Every structure is written in C-alpha cells, then in structure tokens.
Amino acid sequence: MSRSSLNIVLLVDSRSFGGIESHIANLALGLEQASHKVLIILMANYGEHPVFDVDPKLRTKTIKLSGGAVELYQTLSRLSIDVVHTHGYKAGIIGRFICRMLDKAVVSTFHAGERGTLKIRFYRWLDRISAKGTQCISVSQPIADELGVSSDVIQNFVEPAPLKTVSFRCNQLAFVGRFSHEKGPDHFLQVAEAMPEHIFSMYGAGPLFSSLDKSKPLNMCLLGQVPSMLPHWQEIKVLCITSRAEGLPLVALEAMAHGIPVVSYAVGGLPSLVDHGVNGWLVDEHQPAKFIETLQQVMALSPSRFKLISQNARKTILDRFSTTAVVPQIETVYRQALSHEVLAQPVK
C-alpha cells in the first residue's frame, strides 16, 4: 500500500483530563508531524475540554457532537476518512458498529488496566466482545493478555521534554493521577506517614479527595487538578506510582522524559518501562512496607548515583517511548486495517 498521507479520525467520549486524553493529544500531533490529516471527534459536548480546547493546535482539529449514534453516523458518512481510531469503551462499541455499516476501516486502542465498578466491567466486557475481527492495539502486554482478541502491543509514548540539567534542589515525592481506589492514593498516604522528613505532594482529583484531605499527614500537600504538569515537573524529585492496576501510565513516561525517576508497584505494563535499579525502581505489588523501604533507599542515594538513574530514565523514553519511535508502529496498524478493509469489499 502507498505511504501517502492518511485522513484519520480519533474518536473518544471525554469530558476531563486523563491518560487517554493525553495519549490522543500526543498521537494527533505526532500523526500531523508525519504528514497525516487528523480530526478529533468528541462524541458528546460537555463544555470546554481541559485538553482539546486548551491547546490551540488541538482545538482546530476537534469537533464535538451531541452524543447520539445517528449524528455520529451522519458525521462519519460525510467525511473523507481512511481510518477511524477509537479510544475508550463507548467510542469503541459504537464507533466500530458504525464503521462496519459504512465500510470504513477502524482501529481500536485498549488503554485501561483497572477493573472499575460492575457497570464499567460490563461495558469493558462488551467492548472486548465487540472488538472481534477489528484491528486492535493494547498499550501493555497484560491488557493484551486479558483482551481475548488479537491485538498489537504498542506502548504509550510522549514527546520528550527539552534537555535540562537535573536540579537536586527539587524535593517533592509526588503522586500524579486520579484519587480513586485503583490508583492506590491510600498507599501513597501510608508512605508519606512513614517518611515525615520528606515532602509529599499529590496532583489530581477524584472521589477520594475529601477523605485524603482530612487524613493527610503534615508533610503532605494536596494540590488538586492542575491544567498541566509542565510547570510542576521541575519541583519533583521522584514520581511514586502506588496503583493497584495499570495499563502503561502516561504520567510515568512524562516524568521520565523530564529526567524524573519512578518508584512503582510492578503492575500492568510498568515492568516493561522501569528497569529496577537502572532507570527507576519496582516494588512487589501492593506492599506499602516494601514501597517505603525502597523509597528510603532511593532518597539515601548519592547525588552522582541519582543523576545516573535520572539520565537513564530520560534515555529510555528517547529510545523506546518517544513520538518518533512509536507513531510509525501505529501507522503500520492503520495500513493493515486499510488492507483488510480492501480485501473484505465484494468484487464488483
């Protein structure tokens, strides 16, 4: 198939900031850099979007629908589209059904590793079942193993931050993510309580915010949902990931791209990213005592040793998880989907 420019729709149902939204933003800009034409379709209009309306480059590529399947069908039918790329269970279930009706090539990415509520589990089951026969991407091997349908494992990626000198004056030990059970903010609180001599910061929002705010120790600050982490990375020394389940969290890639090492439970796709003792540190799943012990060892490292780990973290992103390394892999999946679509069309 020709390597010509493709017309690509990135389809999602989204009202807030999260890993999927960051992934789509990075993907849209990366595909544009590769000379493809990209349109982001939000299936429903929830007002100003904290990702796609804030960035002028993304805002011009984004359209918002009213939430109905008929409107989505009409929109996709009148656009010149080569591939529709769905993200999230709602976009996946509805988007694949409509693309099959319209004989349009479709690709679906599966991002989530956490189980969620019973309702969410049902929708994710339906998402997996309805993905049979579709070109699929999983962002980690554990997600691919659970999917039950064939998929390409293409891990998350980020645009590397400009090179900067690591400052050892930064002192925050940070949690960045949703304040919900699967992300393990309660474990992060336990770690902070056990290390009162250090400063712990939490960036994000979610259903556990109020309870965490009431029970947080004196050395912990809850900074809430911030529009962007860019001005805050320079204040963080180590990113702590205490999740009970994960895919491959973009926040870990973003931190490492800024030279910030990660201490994480060995969940989801994180063992494929973090090489223990080389570019970060892994802890056996769901054991706060071991997490505390590991973090204490990290904070006792010499500046020269910590700087080496920091440099290795950044190099990992540049070599394996950057836009230039990953977007061509996704482009290959698009062209495979288009090839299958052509083969599936009846001979006239």
Asked if residue 327 and residue 289 are part of one domain, the reply reads no
Q: Does any domain span residue 290?
A: yes
Asked if residue 151 and residue 107 are part of one domain, the reply reads yes
pLDDT digits (tens, 9 = 90+) for 242-270: 999 888 899 999 999 999 999 999 998 89
Q: Does any domain span residue 266?
A: yes
Grade residue 169 by pLDDT with cuts at 50, 70 and 90: low
Per-residue pLDDT, averaged over 81-94, amounts to 97
pLDDT above 50 (res 37): yes
Distance separating alpha carbons of residues 20 and 66, to the nearest angstrom: 20
- Residue 92: which H helix or E strand, with range? helix 89-102
Count structural domains, the chain: 2
Our CA dihedral for 89, 26, 280, 276, rounded to 10 degrees, sits at 50
Asked if residue 237 and residue 137 are part of one domain, the reply reads no
Grade residue 342 by pLDDT with cuts at 50, 70 and 90: very low
* DSSP letter, residue 278: T
Asked if residue 56 and residue 36 are part of one domain, the reply reads yes
pLDDT value, residue 163 = 66
Q: Does any domain span residue 63?
A: yes
Q: Determine the structural domain holding residue 331 and report its residue range.
A: 7-157+323-344
Asked if residue 194 and residue 81 are part of one domain, the reply reads no
Nearest C-alpha neighbor of 240 from the set 199, 278, 205: 199
Distance separating alpha carbons of residues 165 and 303, to the nearest angstrom: 13
pLDDT digits (tens, 9 = 90+) for 47-78: 999 899 989 999 999 999 999 999 999 999 99
Per-residue pLDDT, averaged over 288-304, amounts to 96
pLDDT value, residue 286 = 87
Per-residue pLDDT, averaged over 7-11, amounts to 98
Please say whether the beta carbons of 268 and 142 come within 8 A: yes
Q: Does any domain span residue 167?
A: no
pLDDT above 70 (res 19): yes
Asked if residue 313 and residue 328 are part of one domain, the reply reads no
| No. of helices (H) and no. of strands (E), the chain | 13, 13
pLDDT value, residue 159 = 84
Q: Does any domain span residue 212?
A: yes
Q: Does any domain span residue 62?
A: yes
Asked if residue 115 and residue 26 are part of one domain, the reply reads yes
pLDDT value, residue 118 = 82
Per-residue pLDDT, averaged over 274-286, amounts to 94
pLDDT value, residue 47 = 95
CATH label of the domain that carries residue 81: 3.40.50.2000
- Tokens encoding 283: 């802890």
Percent of the chain past pLDDT 70, that is, above it, reads 94
pLDDT above 50 (res 343): no
Residue 305, classified by CB atoms within 10 Å of its CB into exposed (0-12), middle (13-18) or buried (19+), is exposed
pLDDT digits (tens, 9 = 90+) for 100-109: 999 999 999 9
Distance separating alpha carbons of residues 294 and 291, to the nearest angstrom: 5
Radius of gyration of the chain (CA): 21
Top pLDDT among 89 and 165 is at 89
pLDDT digits (tens, 9 = 90+) for 313-323: 999 999 999 99
Please say whether the beta carbons of 259 and 314 come within 8 A: yes
Asked if residue 198 and residue 108 are part of one domain, the reply reads no
Please say whether the beta carbons of 173 and 240 come within 8 A: yes
Q: Does any domain span residue 1?
A: no
Measured from the Cβ of residue 266, the count of other Cβ atoms closer than 10 Å reads 15
Q: Does any domain span residue 165?
A: no
Nearest C-alpha neighbor of 106 from the set 345, 283, 336, 347: 336
Please say whether the beta carbons of 86 and 12 come within 8 A: yes
Asked if residue 210 and residue 141 are part of one domain, the reply reads no
Asked if residue 116 and residue 30 are part of one domain, the reply reads yes
* DSSP letter, residue 66: B
Per-residue pLDDT, averaged over 225-235, amounts to 88
Asked if residue 214 and residue 191 are part of one domain, the reply reads yes
Asked if residue 285 and residue 207 are part of one domain, the reply reads yes
Residue 325, classified by CB atoms within 10 Å of its CB into exposed (0-12), middle (13-18) or buried (19+), is middle
Grade residue 116 by pLDDT with cuts at 50, 70 and 90: low
